[in-house]
Structure 1
């Protein structure tokens, strides 16, 4: 037995992360070292991410390279790591790499076959306009909503006269003669903005240059925060300005053709109009468009991950999150592709109180057993205290945002009382970092059909303000399950295509190494063939397979009703409700204020005990034995099949009982950490040896 006494139990295994805003004033007044030393003196964090604010750009290398060098050097002397967060650098984007918004309109030619038409850019969020141009004009006889008479279609783009164009608007004239009187003209205009086409090399070259410029500074982390394509109409505007535009870029068009064999301009048209009785063409065009669009942000993220590892070494921390507005049904699908699960990271990372089922699915997608949620609080500090402790019981951690946030209604962590309380909380969470358990045991994997999310057609009632399917309520259904006590994780269906979600050799449903007894598939409509095959294979396992929704057409717009009928005969086809899911034997979490981990460990957390310094009682049954005690803040325990203690951590610990017998006790309440392997115990106690001691220790039993 080895006992170590410490003033405070230090952090291990997983970093404690803090955002640190850098402003022009900090550079001008050279206060960055002073602020760094203050952070290290008053706060518990060991990884600080530098992020620019108030007009400071980390791409202005000459302004920041010396301060960066000095800061990293001093931080390392203080035992703290420094990460560099880079925003996208759009100021230098030129026309060759610019992204366009395609604005649509339609009008009838007059009795003389003529029309004057004016369009202007719309749908973007404060993006500088560069150029407006005519994209496409077709004529046809309209025979219904979204349909034209097949032999009537004509492309007249080259015959149109541009009367006027500037950065934001364009006016054209059509004169096709009386023969085409009352024909429908479907007009697409392209409005380019100073925002990069992520399929071009611009963003990659920009980040490549930045990493090279800073290569001599030994940064410990590189991060892209909310990296995305062109920001479009945000949620608070969409209610009265529905987004009906589409993104287009030259490199995007090249990638689209390479992957699909289809011209992007043609696909954009077929997303709206197809020949009469050819509904499948429109389904296919919409599916293809979003399937390729989502690749752009991840392509850049993958480059930054790989190149940063090459320059700084394999152990560098790569962050941050790409959850932007945290919904599947808003602007985020256009900007990040809702590719939250695909970020190249060791740790899953999210933003602003993302729901637990999403975070659990993202955690399963990455190798480390912790997921970080970047979070700030407005007004009162209590919500961040509460969140930190609830998150911790599910192996979630906060990336605190931020040390020096001076914006209105943001809580500035320079506040002394706030920093003291956060320190108390993090000192307890460090015990769980030392315990280093795996992810929580999830009883249910929820998979949503990504194509169904992006494609509302032909159900116009589900077409939402962002031109995607707003009638699926994926996040709401998962949250309802979680609130009912179902430990579940959410992932998208494209994890099947990538081979990460599969049936393993033991005929179990396995996602990225995590095994699930039950699966709930939401909205299989427009599924790819690999997804349909997977669902059919699931029905030949012993797993509980539930499906909410039907599949009439596949990803290619072809009927898949025969295969889905076979699936439905063996799966549980349900119309979602929590009660229906629970009726299939899905378990709920039995541990109040805690949960069980994949290896059978139990974790419990509590905030009130930290704030009051009054221990809370716990009583749990593991492997036919009952363990009891009291804790402040956190408690985690792992035992083997005989009931022997393998690992144990506890805040404010005094005694641990096994089947009513005391097996561990100390002379005075303190924080404790025990690792017992091969009949040897390594014990860390908070306190001095003459103030606190082990009074009884029995870890092994016959």
Structure 2
């Protein structure tokens, strides 16, 4: 009797429990903050929504000054991470007030809104402390000046340089701290205006007087030994209020600076536009070179004892019989400087992972100007590709072929572009076009400030969201649950990295511009191409794996992208070894290769490759168009609406416009869509708004889906009907083949039409 009663009670309990279980609400993807994306979900890294916050001195120094801006940005729901940078002279990043501010702000933002801060507290923001500890470790710039000295006459030369400035300085510029005379040479020139190498003499001892007051100096050169008219070149090193990049003290100081911030509950750390001080004149004259005692020692060590000042003179003035030596000196300097800058970047990456965990976010972008041109060569040696990041990051109007190429090398498929402009419409354009190239936008407030909105509390960022960016970000963030690969780019254009930066070659820089033009020509035909430097043949990613390798199917692969074609352009002696290594990688493989001639017709080559890809069944994407927002030359990018293809087979439709910034209806009525390689055909019926993405397996079965305001979807064995309640949704099969689902809504009520689509549903608050 008791056994029977127990069984009845147990059965009643189980029935009641099962019913309760079935009626339970879906679990929030982020239980503490249901509207925020988690770093990791079900083993997947989820790309965050990012923005910038630049607190001023008043906000930092005023108790609780962080609350008002964080309340505004937190309530917007548009950000999971905020890259915070306070660039005030009143509180450097290592000051007690700054650290306390960041600590309190980080706790407040995460506890109240689930928003986490990425800290910008690097060495350029702690210059006072650095120079107090290491007054001798300033970055110098060697100024070379050529004059003609008449026979027997004294020569007087006045030199003056100004302070340098960039986005980190404001009213605390990289002031000139002083200068020192390095060397003086005399020489003759031949009929071709080339320095006669045999005539070069060190005449530093003939300087009668050298006087200096920080940014200005006067040199008086004796004429006693000027027995004939002669040319002279004077080298003066000006020191700036900028840490010496090659000094051990600078690297060690920044390492301690990062460690000092580990007490803050942050999401990660920032190294933004890192490199040598900003400079714009060298690209025209080649008469300025970075310099310092530490740099002189390092150069001597890697060159077998050569003198850096002498080689700078050689780089500046071509000398008879020394052409190859000059080319090698330029390459050596460029390689040395880039390698040193990457040491700082690697330290930031490794320290961030050490202090804030394996999923720490490392920001932001290495791009400075942001075009891969002459100013960038000198700033950072074009270290855009090898710099360590989990997510590739660029800024402003970086060419899209650079963005996609950098994304292939990164650990995660999504890339970010930090973007600013003066009106919301520009941000709408940036969001939609980046999306169709696999990117997202790191929102920078309105800039210039003169065009900022006047409303109190807008913080120059809320009007951007109200203008439509808020809903675009809401619509697109569910893609981050199912996207596993970057944009499909079947062609790689490899440029000679060191050769394009070496002005001894006739094609100096021009070959890089030509390579970008070729990428544009391919993209406007529906086949985006990745731009990659030849030096990447040696690079190992943050995962410890070589970026270039031979894929299992016999194609040459860079990061996550196998290529149908690899082009080599701008091949010089400087890059020949790298090009040869990369070429050999493709021997006996399936990838077609070509070394392009210097005077190539980009349009003709693009047409030839397009025809070849079509013959091989490679499917095009929506053709890219000329950008509406650019600085330098022509740039092509996706339109605001169209179809994009991704390397894992994902198909993404986006539909945006300035008239309907939050997205237009996407409707497919038994649409026949080919797989990337043309070997499969999918019959798709669907309706959504703004965004629709899906991926199929080799048997044509659906394995992933994401859509905004989805009304229905019928393809690959999946049938979803939610016309009565259009919903933002993401679905995917996990590694065990089990369907997982996330839906986004105001309330945690799963639409009936979705219940059968996944075994487990999760909720993300809109």
Q: State the distance in 1 between where 2:665 and 2:339 align.
A: 50
Q: State the distance in 2 between where 1:674 and 1:60 align.
A: 45
Indicate the residue corresponding to 1:639 in structure 2.
696
Q: Does 1:577 align with 2:635?
A: no
Q: State the distance in 2 between where 1:190 and 1:662 align.
A: 69
Q: Which region of structure 1 is more displaced relative to structure 2, 50-59 or 223-232?
A: 50-59
Cα distance, 1:68–1:471 mapped onto 2, change above 3 Å: closer
Cα distance, 1:150–1:31 mapped onto 2, change above 3 Å: closer
Q: State the distance in 2 between where 1:268 and 1:611 align.
A: 53
Q: Which region of structure 1 is more displaced relative to structure 2, 77-86 or 3-12?
A: 3-12
Match among 328, 332, 335 for residue 372 of structure 2: 328
Indicate the residue corresponding to 1:615 in structure 2.
665
Indicate the residue corresponding to 2:72 in structure 1.
38
Q: State the distance in 2 between where 1:417 and 1:441 align.
A: 30
Indicate the residue corresponding to 2:115 in structure 1.
80
1:634 positional shift: 1.0
SS of residue matched to 2:190: strand
Q: State the distance in 2 between where 1:121 and 1:288 align.
A: 27
Match among 324, 334, 337 for residue 280 of structure 1: 324
SS of residue matched to 2:152: coil
Q: State the distance in 1 between where 2:417 and 2:500 align.
A: 24
Q: State the distance in 1 between where 2:127 and 2:192 align.
A: 39
Deviations 1:356-385 (A, max 9, x none): 11011111121111111111221x212212
Indicate the residue corresponding to 1:248 in structure 2.
291
Match among 597, 601, 620 for residue 589 of structure 1: 620
1:349 positional shift: 0.8
Q: Which region of structure 1 is more displaced relative to structure 2, 223-232 or 177-186?
A: 177-186
1:279 positional shift: 1.8
Indicate the residue corresponding to 1:391 in structure 2.
434
Cα distance, 1:338–1:532 mapped onto 2, change above 3 Å: closer
CA contact under 8 A between 1:103 and 1:190: conserved in structure 2? yes
- Residues 137-152 of structure 1: matches in 2 within 5 Å? 137-145=184-192, 147-152=194-199
Deviations 1:587-614 (A, max 9, x none): 5623571222112111121224964775
- Residues 102-251 of structure 1: matches in 2 within 5 Å? 102-112=142-152, 114-121=154-161, 124-125=164-165, 127-145=174-192, 147-175=194-222, 177=224, 180-233=227-280, 244-251=287-294
Q: State the distance in 1 between where 2:295 and 2:269 align.
A: 26
Cα distance, 1:11–1:504 mapped onto 2, change above 3 Å: same
Indicate the residue corresponding to 2:685 in structure 1.
628
Cα distance, 1:579–1:539 mapped onto 2, change above 3 Å: farther
Q: Which region of structure 1 is more displaced relative to structure 2, 574-583 or 245-254?
A: 574-583
Cα distance, 1:534–1:582 mapped onto 2, change above 3 Å: farther
Q: State the distance in 2 between where 1:75 and 1:612 align.
A: 27
Indicate the residue corresponding to 1:520 in structure 2.
567
Cα distance, 1:315–1:298 mapped onto 2, change above 3 Å: same
Deviations 1:480-513 (A, max 9, x none): 3323322211111111243645452755322235
Q: Does 1:683 align with 2:735?
A: no
SS of residue matched to 1:367: coil
Cα distance, 1:157–1:686 mapped onto 2, change above 3 Å: closer
SS of residue matched to 1:583: helix
Cα distance, 1:266–1:690 mapped onto 2, change above 3 Å: closer
Q: Does 1:453 align with 2:511?
A: no
Q: State the distance in 2 between where 1:613 and 1:294 align.
A: 42
Q: State the distance in 1 between where 2:755 and 2:174 align.
A: 67
Q: Aligned-residue CA RMSD in angstroms? A: 3.3
CA contact under 8 A between 1:394 and 1:594: conserved in structure 2? no
- Residues 359-438 of structure 1: matches in 2 within 5 Å? 359-378=403-422, 380-402=423-445, 407-410=449-452, 412-413=459-460, 415=462, 418-419=465-466, 421-438=468-485
CA contact under 8 A between 1:431 and 1:634: conserved in structure 2? no
Indicate the residue corresponding to 1:546 in structure 2.
594
Q: State the distance in 1 between where 2:157 and 2:58 align.
A: 50
- Residues 442-521 of structure 1: matches in 2 within 5 Å? 442-457=489-504, 459=506, 472-498=513-539, 500=546, 502=548, 504=550, 507-521=554-568
1:405 positional shift: 7.1
CA contact under 8 A between 1:347 and 1:367: conserved in structure 2? yes
1:699 positional shift: 9.8
1:343 positional shift: 1.9
1:648 positional shift: 0.9
1:180 positional shift: 3.1
Q: Which region of structure 1 is more displaced relative to structure 2, 122-131 or 343-352?
A: 122-131
1:158 positional shift: 2.6
1:447 positional shift: 1.1
Q: State the distance in 1 between where 2:430 and 2:362 align.
A: 24
- Residues 289-368 of structure 1: matches in 2 within 5 Å? 289-368=333-412
CA contact under 8 A between 1:113 and 1:180: conserved in structure 2? no
Indicate the residue corresponding to 1:664 in structure 2.
720
Q: State the distance in 1 between where 2:139 and 2:348 align.
A: 21
Match among 51, 54, 61 for residue 21 of structure 1: 54
Q: Which structure would you say has the larger RCO, counting Cα contacts within 8 Å and 6 or more residues apart? A: 1
Indicate the residue corresponding to 1:90 in structure 2.
127
Query: Structure 2 length as normaliser, TM-score?
Result: 0.79
Indicate the residue corresponding to 1:554 in structure 2.
none
Cα distance, 1:415–1:123 mapped onto 2, change above 3 Å: closer
CA contact under 8 A between 2:497 and 2:575: conserved in structure 1? no
1:533 positional shift: 1.9
Q: State the distance in 2 between where 1:691 and 1:329 align.
A: 52
Q: State the distance in 1 between where 2:73 and 2:226 align.
A: 76
1:269 positional shift: 1.7
Deviations 1:577-635 (A, max 9, x none): 13323313245623571222112111121224964775222333342221121221111
SS of residue matched to 1:136: strand
Q: State the distance in 2 between where 1:649 and 1:354 align.
A: 28
Q: State the distance in 1 between where 2:109 and 2:378 align.
A: 39
Q: State the distance in 2 between where 1:263 and 1:663 align.
A: 72
Q: Unpaired segments of 5 or more residues in structure 1?
A: 551-573
Indicate the residue corresponding to 1:562 in structure 2.
none
SS of residue matched to 1:682: strand
Cα distance, 1:691–1:494 mapped onto 2, change above 3 Å: closer
Q: Which region of structure 1 is more displaced relative to structure 2, 13-22 or 1-10?
A: 1-10
1:470 positional shift: 8.2
SS of residue matched to 1:408: helix
Deviations 1:557-576 (A, max 9, x none): xxxxxxxxxxxxxxxxx714
SS of residue matched to 1:131: strand
